[in-house]
Structure 1
């Protein structure tokens, strides 16, 4: 594995998002002097927040999986997950609502989910679910250590026994076909393929190896920290500060100083100079490449993932029939991906994610009130240039009416607190106005994804969802650790964390790195 050249005792990390915080923790735990420079007023990056009138909104990710990776990140400086970030395991992980009026609680306990599938679709589908669960676990075992949690310098580095296992498991086929080998009920297939939206592809186009995302939530489990997902970056930043990491919030990086091919200092927008031996750039790719002096040449154009419109909503009542996370499927599943990915248009028959965090933590809203977020995938601004500042309010009302019709409430009983659109993501500097960065096409997977060790400087490393291993909370944290490994070389973990799940496949905190 290649690492940065020369000494690397003083490190500057640009960006206090999840990947930057993870890099800072791993580097501090390895004895480096770390300074984190962040343009915002606090940590989080894409895991943002907004507070208004007693509502505490998460404006970034709402689904947290694979807590063992969080535990390993904190363990880099001798901290424990239980002390820093108490988590609640959600049961069910999701409640799926289908257009025919049926619902299914998606549980991560094998026996409970088998019983639920049997009652929902019959004994044959229940047996198929057990086989699918076994396949997902084997897929995860084959992928994690070598393809997700390790740096690879070239495609030839993938020629390992694990690659052969992936081939045998059908990892290079199509996701929907792989799931279809086990499940015939079209509603159930949606539950185990909707995660393709996170990868920015239709299940019919996504490689089956990305079904490991379905392993993360339907087998590994979905969790929620008290106080909201914002508690995750707060916990990481707190642990880093206690470990000696210096944070410079409300400070933007204007430029990098160089001596030959080495970056020697960071210049802030107030013309302050922060010296460094190496730098980790965890900002979005366009900003990272601007600071480095240009993007590397690629034979093909980078393809962004679809974006999203997110409504933050408030209401009264108990909202019986909804869980913490609710999948609201439309009638025509295939048209969702045709619209978003193939045609670059708004969904004609929306499938949506409704999250109600007050189902687990009522303190996120005033007494007697519910806080919810509604996520609707939409095309990114490269695929569909749209004046979202003009269109956003009308589309938000349209979405609310769709959800009201499906769940049976009057739109007038729900207050819209805040709306986020691709225009807002673009103002944050996110490529093509999408919080999901680059799609996980084959040409943007593994060693074909933008590398975390750019060739334009000898002591710079990239981290974040635009580089390896990819998009999502667990992968962002892994990206920070992989960046630290590029600086120091691989070191032994302080804690036995998450890896190939040989001992207890359903436990996301078992196994080894």
Structure 2
């Protein structure tokens, strides 16, 4: 890597020559890890990102198969200004590298009886649909969206990138959270505003996008409705993987380095200070600061074997509540299905009962609700000409259920196929030309997610903000956490915001030089 020394962003001290900068090691190359690397590079660090898989992205990696491109994980881009900030830190414009398209509609929700709700940023259309379901809920919709806007202002815009390093930080925001009645679940918040049960579902399902149960996740997550309305829902042409590649290029442009196939076995410490990492092959890499984008429970439970942990002990990690996992079926078809939109949510016959099976009973139900992703509705480059790329996702219990996915995966896939055949894609299996599966076992084995939980710790109030693993480690100095398992939580906006928190808690490189 050549000695490249870009100009410091406005307001920051001048950057040292690359070879003399303090070294920051980032474990993991998901959105949180890559965003952290860029922010550390802008703050004067020489950065090395270590990724155990063969390609970057973590949960956002890409599968390419038989001419089809499958984004493995996140597919919904909201709050794009958080991404734009990363390009700005590098003196670039995101629009020069990424073609980000606003989607209209955002997604369609299909109920079990065939009724549909088209969710969009068009307020007139939204009101018309609500009136068609229940005219008496129009006033409730206005009140709900006003609450969502206020919750977004406090919970996301003010607190999303604020560190919660001390209990007093929580005490300061407690009155605002109480005023927003954040102790209520998202479903109870929606139910207080809508009479129609279908509308309660439409305006409460969002926590599932970040691993939460709408009947248990804090009402603070009602902010997502306003987040989408204010900044839209977007698609990056070429797939979410194009964003990952764009972030990698930014890191390399700063003089940073990405090493794939580099598995971290442990974080090295002297006393209670992180001093580097040791890889699975025995190589030791010294560092002035270490940032972990690995699963938070894995970081504390597996990567600090020589540290007597005070807060995140094995016993506490065992008692913690973990998010659901996911069953994802990727498939490509030899023909197009132009009547199917980019994002579709197919609800099953049960809502509360199914979520109880997934989150509480840890039981694999015989029915399902599905998220169907058809990126070729917007971006034909994701498939060969005349073909379609799909993935269908079903929330399922994490591995605490004891489920044997080696034997259960194919029967479950067949059940999903029947559901798709009966609803949106009649006869589609005859058109499939490529296929692959991801189960909770893959989340555990490939992504080192404890219990195969797809989103880390479950986002309930008692595991949020100060109660969540802190961005600045409580256990080891100069160790920092980013990603879904720390504050503020999962989802692209959440994990990118977790990296933004580092600006407040990691010293500028000039302090350590």
For residues 455-504 of structure 1, give each alpha carbon's deviation from its aligned partner in whole angstroms, at most 9, with x where no partner exists.
4322111111111111111111111222343212799xxxxxxxxxxxxx
Deviates more, 1:181-190 or 1:406-415: 406-415
TM-score of the aligned structures, taking structure 2 as reference length: 0.88
131 and 316 in structure 1: CA distance in 2 versus 1, 3 angstrom threshold = farther
99 and 490 in structure 1: CA distance in 2 versus 1, 3 angstrom threshold = farther
> Which runs of 5 or more structure 1 residues have no equivalent in the other structure?
1-6, 492-513
User: Stretches of 4+ moved more than 6 A in 1?
Assistant: none
For residues 93-129 of structure 1, give each alpha carbon's deviation from its aligned partner in whole angstroms, at most 9, with x where no partner exists.
01111112111210023233223333x3254333432
87 and 154 in structure 1: CA distance in 2 versus 1, 3 angstrom threshold = same
Of residues 398, 406, 413, the one that matches 1:389 is 406
377 and 148 in structure 1: CA distance in 2 versus 1, 3 angstrom threshold = same
Measured in 2, the distance between the counterparts of 1:286 and 1:158 equals 22
Counterpart check, 1:417 vs 2:435: yes
Measured in 2, the distance between the counterparts of 1:423 and 1:32 equals 36
Q: Which residue of 1 aligns with 2:29?
A: 16
Of residues 176, 191, 201, the one that matches 2:202 is 191
Contact in 1 for aligned 2:55/2:61 (Cα 8 Å) = no
145 and 207 in structure 1: CA distance in 2 versus 1, 3 angstrom threshold = same
Contact in 2 for aligned 1:21/1:236 (Cα 8 Å) = yes
Counterpart check, 1:90 vs 2:103: yes
Counterpart check, 1:142 vs 2:161: no
263 and 403 in structure 1: CA distance in 2 versus 1, 3 angstrom threshold = same
Measured in 1, the distance between the counterparts of 2:441 and 2:458 equals 19
Contact in 2 for aligned 1:335/1:349 (Cα 8 Å) = no
414 and 385 in structure 1: CA distance in 2 versus 1, 3 angstrom threshold = farther
Q: How many residues align?
A: 482
Alignment of 1:291-306 (within 5 A): 291-293=303-305, 296-297=312-313, 301-306=319-324
Measured in 2, the distance between the counterparts of 1:445 and 1:409 equals 42
For residues 365-396 of structure 1, give each alpha carbon's deviation from its aligned partner in whole angstroms, at most 9, with x where no partner exists.
111111111000110001x1111112101110
Q: Which residue of 1 aligns with 2:357?
A: 339
Q: Which residue of 2 aligns with 1:498?
A: none
For residues 24-79 of structure 1, give each alpha carbon's deviation from its aligned partner in whole angstroms, at most 9, with x where no partner exists.
11111112221112222232111011111110011111122111111122222222
258 and 166 in structure 1: CA distance in 2 versus 1, 3 angstrom threshold = closer
Q: SS of 2:330's equivalent? A: strand
Q: SS of 1:159's equivalent? A: helix
Displacement of 1:452: 2.5
Measured in 2, the distance between the counterparts of 1:336 and 1:251 equals 39
Q: Which residue of 2 aligns with 1:462?
A: 481
Q: SS of 2:58's equivalent? A: coil
Displacement of 1:316: 4.2
Counterpart check, 1:351 vs 2:364: no
Contact in 2 for aligned 1:23/1:484 (Cα 8 Å) = no
Measured in 2, the distance between the counterparts of 1:471 and 1:379 equals 17
Measured in 1, the distance between the counterparts of 2:152 and 2:508 equals 25
Contact in 2 for aligned 1:10/1:32 (Cα 8 Å) = yes
Counterpart check, 1:214 vs 2:231: no
Q: SS of 1:323's equivalent? A: coil
Q: Which residue of 2 aligns with 1:37?
A: 50
For residues 275-324 of structure 1, give each alpha carbon's deviation from its aligned partner in whole angstroms, at most 9, with x where no partner exists.
22111111123442222225523657111111010011222444243210
Q: What root-mean-square deviation, in Å, do the aligned CA atoms of Structure 1 and Structure 2 show?
A: 2.3
Measured in 2, the distance between the counterparts of 1:196 and 1:69 equals 20
Q: Which residue of 1 aligns with 2:465?
A: 446
Measured in 1, the distance between the counterparts of 2:228 and 2:331 equals 25
Measured in 2, the distance between the counterparts of 1:200 and 1:378 equals 11
Of residues 24, 48, 52, the one that matches 2:65 is 52
Q: Which residue of 1 aligns with 2:454?
A: 435
TM-score of the aligned structures, taking structure 1 as reference length: 0.88
Measured in 1, the distance between the counterparts of 2:171 and 2:297 equals 31
Measured in 2, the distance between the counterparts of 1:181 and 1:257 equals 50
